[in-house]
Amino acid sequence: MRILVWLVRAVVFFALFAFALSNQHEVTLHAFFGFQWRGPMILVVLGALALGCACGALAMLPSWWRLKRRARPDAPASSILGPQELEPATPHSVPMHPPRDGL
């Protein structure tokens, strides 16, 4: 299995390397207020990829922080349990399961 994973990684690497070699021509990037930047296309593509990854990571930060806060051992019960889980359980809300044998 490890050989297959490394083989897939090598194929992806060589495909991206060939893509970079085939896109070495110069492009002009037009921005706001008449600003222009000239550079190789591969830098523009890699910059767009990096910007997309950064935006995705920033979009996930609030949920990461929320999950990390809930996973702390000293977290208060109100942050771990939702409001519906703080209500006391009634006999009808708790499912009854027979004990398992052999465990």
pLDDT of residue 11: 94
48 lies in a domain? yes
| pLDDT, tens only, 2-22 | 899 999 999 988 998 888 888
Domain that holds residue 39: 18-71
CB 41 within 8 A of CB 50: no
Q: Residues 93, 98, 102, CA angle at the centre, nearest 5°?
A: 140
pLDDT of residue 36: 92
Q: Which residue has the higher pLDDT, 67 or 89?
A: 67
pTM, entire model: 0.51
pLDDT of residue 47: 86
Query: How many distinct structural domains can be found in the chain?
Result: 1
| pLDDT, tens only, 27-74 | 998 889 989 989 888 888 888 889 999 999 999 999 888 888 888 777
